[in-house]
Amino acid sequence: MGDKATADFSLEPTRNKEFIINAKEPFNAEPTPERLIQSFVTPTEHFYVRNHAPVPLVQESSYFLKIDGLVGKPLLLSIDDIKQQFEKVTITAHLQCAGNRRTMMSDYKKVKGVGWGIASLSNGVWAGCRLRDVLEKANAFPVGNGAKHACFWGLDVGCPEDEGKPYGSSITMEKAMDINGDVILAYEMNGETLTRDHGYPLRVIAPGIIGARSVKWLDKITVSSEESTSFFQRRDYKIFHSGVDWNNVEQYWDKTPSLQELSIQSAICIPAPNSHLFLPFSIYGYATSGGGRKIERVDVSLDGGETWDYAELMGEEKGNSNKYWGWTLFRYTIKSLATNHHHTTGNKSSIPIRICCRAWDSASNTQPKDVKDIWNLRGVMNNYSKS
Amino acid sequence: MGDKATADFSLEPTRNKEFIINAKEPFNAEPTPERLIQSFVTPTEHFYVRNHAPVPLVQESSYFLKIDGLVGKPLLLSIDDIKQQFEKVTITAHLQCAGNRRTMMSDYKKVKGVGWGIASLSNGVWAGCRLRDVLEKANAFPVGNGAKHACFWGLDVGCPEDEGKPYGSSITMEKAMDINGDVILAYEMNGETLTRDHGYPLRVIAPGIIGARSVKWLDKITVSSEESTSFFQRRDYKIFHSGVDWNNVEQYWDKTPSLQELSIQSAICIPAPNSHLFLPFSIYGYATSGGGRKIERVDVSLDGGETWDYAELMGEEKGNSNKYWGWTLFRYTIKSLATNHHHTTGNKSSIPIRICCRAWDSASNTQPKDVKDIWNLRGVMNNYSKS
Ligand SMILES: [Mo]
Ligand SMILES: [Mo]
């Protein structure tokens, strides 16, 4: 399947040595959980990297973005065109891989995919032009008039899962054209030119939906009546029900919708599992939701989910129009431990506790308790709360 | 607390005799589950009724809607003004009480509130003017310029929980002004003038959020920097965490957000519990989500949630801009029963099954499995999936 053998990884950029590397080729890496939440905006060198192929080496001088498909006026745009012809907008948004926390899903039953811990997400500041403005300039057909999907293709040829094709993905035209949807074509990340690992010279940032739709090294936008024909839209990045396995998955490909908006999520980054803690101590973590929904509340439990208390929310920042694209960090400080609902070891100074957390968003959605309830073959959208 | 004793219920309208009445005064009633899903649009006479006080007797000739607060031009509008000065728009939207399925939450631990079965929701066709257009005519201050909430007051004085005041509630100005938010001031329901029980002569329809915000018999809209001061915004219609009880709830009132968007929900309406069924048979029910999110999938289980299969979705209808405000009905037909995962009675022709369902929306949110995980003092947003 594909020409993985011919993929050339000799021109990969230099990466941060602190990364936890989940796959070398294509490169997939996440920061340590402790490192992840040191700041509200993740520094670029610590921002998780999810690649599907070798990183393309793009020369800005010969780069043109193509816009075609159901448009009245196909366009070819240089980076200068994009900077000069369209208003520059800046948004703060987190990106999160649909595979975040996948490794923990395999604890219940083996799933297939790049193994990710709890840090395949990061929070960034992105600047570029609105996708909406570009599509309007191309006279994209109106939504409902056949134009249903904005399909993105990258310059990263050589995806082993898709017969060596470049990475591709699509979003709905409603999201693409929504004035409060904040989809941008970004040429800056955290105030600087995009780095190669993050999509230089131009990438999609589609906030509130799975990271897989924010295509890097953007080559072409095709407005279509159909979703992207890419493997990553039609076969992968779907939640199959728990009865689907590798023997019957084919019959579920077409009838299972492709993932778009992120679900409600949270994780504890500090302390690390199996830490020895001394009173008082604090628990730190992140919480996120999709669609710009606000994190209203994070609950922390010290007894594996039997009883809960509210954590303190920190560093929340909203985008335009009351959309919360960024993550929310939280803290919960423990000054003393009641022993009534904990196992004691007989040694009063050492009490085992089972810390877990769950977030609630502005739509009153919360995380499922058990991995079993959301287990799926591809290990996507893992957001169970039990420790 | 309040002047419940003076509330006058002598002028209540005549109601459908088929209703299941959960409270007589104020009147609260729902259709039978079987009746509920006979059609995609719920006939007005079967539409659930959730009143907080006696139904006011309003004369259209002396009725004026008031718009005040953070507006440049306070308005007084007659029903004729509303019909003549603003474009008429029609939306299909379900309304759902935050207390839907409350009775089942008490099965775990007692909650307080009107007891509702699984039918305190209905799907209607609403016509009226856009709230946005009215607020623009009143020169409402821009969002972010102090104007944060649209506060609604009804003409239904005598709410026992709120010292005899009229019912009140608020939504955010972002929702009120969102061109894709579809909040309307409705004077028609299912093609006819509003009935008294449903808010004659004018009510709010705020789709995608809890029914409590769709204030009936609308008297006044106040644009404010604060949420409604009503008991029903500040004290009630909140999810307190499971450790909150009637002894400590006061300290959580202000730090618990008021409910807005609906969470993911579904229920089986046919067959009724404890039915004897003969093969083949079909299961019917409804699924809903908030914020206009689409129901992507409904799973049905015949073994109490151990294994699941996809149900067939029916009668889905979208509003403007890809917002799915209406409900989704579903069907699952059973032609034969495998006995491997069911308890058999020894009599092959009688197999006990435990039917349950769970919905998934376009943000990959699904329902919590156990009531314990979402139990709260007021029994709101009950959406657990286990039968
Ligand atoms: Mo991903
Ligand atoms: Mo309600």
Residue-by-residue DSSP string for B69-94: ESBSS-EEE-HHHHHHHS--EEEEEE
> Maximum CA pair distance of chain B?
76
Q: In chain B, whose CA is at the least distance from the CA of A238?
A: B364
**Of the ligands numbered here, which is closest to the C-alpha atom of A379?**
1
Mean pLDDT of A95-110: 93
Phi-psi region of A332 (alpha: psi -120 to 50; beta: other; left: phi over 0): beta
Report the gap between the CA of B65 and the closest CA in chain A (Å). Answer: 28
What pLDDT score was predicted for residue B74?
98
Query: What is the B363 CA–ligand 2 centroid distance (Å)?
Result: 24
Query: What is the B28 CA–ligand 2 centroid distance (Å)?
Result: 10
**Is B369–A369 a contact, with Cβ atoms under 8 angstroms apart?**
yes
pLDDT at B261 over 90: yes
**Is A174–B369 a contact, with Cβ atoms under 8 angstroms apart?**
no
**Is A363–B178 a contact, with Cβ atoms under 8 angstroms apart?**
no
CA-only gyration radius of chain A, Å? 21
What pLDDT score was predicted for residue A349?
61
pLDDT tens digits along A127-143: 999 999 999 999 998 87
**Of the ligands numbered here, which is closest to the C-alpha atom of A52?**
1
DSSP B266-316: EEEEESPTT----SSEEEEEEEE-STT--EEEEEEESBTTSS-EEPEEE--
CA distances from A104 to A19, A117, B145, B162, B274 (A): 19, 7, 45, 48, 38
Query: What is the B21 CA–ligand 2 centroid distance (Å)?
Result: 15
Mean pLDDT of A37-47: 97
User: Encoding tokens for residue B275?
Assistant: 């039915």
CA A154/CA A219 separation, integer angstroms:
5
Report the residue from A174, A305, A360 with minimal CB separation from B321.
A174
Query: Which of chain B's residues have a Cβ under 8 Å away from the Cβ of A296?
Result: 257
Average pLDDT, chain B: 92
β-bridge partners, B171: B150
Average pLDDT, chain A: 92
pLDDT tens digits along A204-215: 999 999 999 999
CA-only gyration radius of chain B, Å? 21
Q: Which of A309, A365, A376 to mutate to test the interface with B (most CBs of B within 10 A)?
A: A365
**Of the ligands numbered here, which is closest to the C-alpha atom of B121?**
2
Report the gap between the CA of A179 and the closest CA in chain B (Å). Answer: 10
pLDDT at A320 over 90: no
Mean pLDDT of A258-272: 96
What pLDDT score was predicted for residue A7?
75
What pLDDT score was predicted for residue B316?
64
What pLDDT score was predicted for residue A107?
85
CA distances from B33 to A302, B230, B282, B362, B380 (A): 40, 32, 15, 26, 19
User: Encoding tokens for residue B100?
Assistant: 């839907």
Query: Which of chain A's residues have a Cβ under 8 Å away from the Cβ of B174?
Result: 321-322
Mean pLDDT of A290-305: 94
Mean pLDDT of B77-96: 97
Amino acid in position B42: T
Q: Residue A113's pLDDT band (boundaries 50, 70, 90)?
A: confident
Element (H, E) at A235: none
pLDDT at B251 over 70: yes
Please report, in angstroms and rounded to a whole number, the separation of the first and last CA atoms in chain B.
Answer: 38
What pLDDT score was predicted for residue B179?
87
Beta-strand pair B328-334/B312-314: antiparallel
Q: Which of B307, B305, B328, B303 is nearest to B317 (CA)?
A: B328
pLDDT tens digits along B194-241: 999 999 999 999 999 999 999 999 999 999 999 999 999 999 999 998
**Is A308–B360 a contact, with Cβ atoms under 8 angstroms apart?**
no
pLDDT at B247 over 50: yes
What pLDDT score was predicted for residue B319?
64
Instruction: Indicate the SS3 state at residue B320.
Output: helix
Write a three-state SS string for A185-230. EEEEECCEECCHHHCCCCEEECCCECHHHCCCCEEEEEEECCCCCC
CA B196/CA B185 separation, integer angstroms:
15
pLDDT at B345 over 50: no
What pLDDT score was predicted for residue B255?
86
More confidently predicted of B144 and B193: B193
What pLDDT score was predicted for residue A336?
84
CA A134/CA A183 separation, integer angstroms:
11
What pLDDT score was predicted for residue B341?
42
Q: What is the ipTM of this complex?
A: 0.85
Query: Which of chain B's residues have a Cβ under 8 Å away from the Cβ of A366?
Result: 368, 373-374
User: Encoding tokens for residue B135?
Assistant: 């607020």
What pLDDT score was predicted for residue A291?
95
Mean pLDDT of A347-356: 78
Mean pLDDT of A254-277: 94
Name the pTM for this structure. 0.90
Query: Which of chain B's residues have a Cβ under 8 Å away from the Cβ of A263?
Result: 363-365
What pLDDT score was predicted for residue A319?
64
pLDDT at A182 over 90: yes
Report the residue from A172, A180, A364 with minimal CB separation from B263.
A364
**Of the ligands numbered here, which is closest to the C-alpha atom of A381?**
1
Mean pLDDT of B89-112: 93
pLDDT tens digits along B5-53: 467 899 999 999 999 999 999 999 999 999 999 999 999 999 999 999 9
Q: Do the Cβ atoms of A232 and A161 come closer than 8 Å? A: yes
Mean pLDDT of A358-371: 94
Beta-strand pair B65-69/B218-224: parallel
More confidently predicted of B242 and A121: A121
Mean pLDDT of A65-74: 97
**Is B261–A143 a contact, with Cβ atoms under 8 angstroms apart?**
no
Q: Which of A173, A302, A364 to mutate to test the interface with B (most CBs of B within 10 A)?
A: A364
pLDDT at B328 over 50: yes
**Is B363–A262 a contact, with Cβ atoms under 8 angstroms apart?**
yes
- Among chain A, residues having any CB pair with chain B shorter than 8 Å are 143, 172, 174, 178, 180, 239, 241-243, 255-257, 259-264, 289-291, 293, 296-297, 299, 305, 307-310, 321-322, 360, 362-366, 368-370, 373-374, 381
pLDDT at A347 over 90: no
Q: Residue A31's pLDDT band (boundaries 50, 70, 90)?
A: very high
Tally of CA atoms within 13 A in the half-sphere of B106 that contains its CB? 14
pLDDT at B72 over 90: yes
What pLDDT score was predicted for residue B344?
41
Q: In chain A, whose CA is at the least distance from the CA of B261?
A: A363
pLDDT at B102 over 80: yes
CA B25/CA B55 separation, integer angstroms:
10
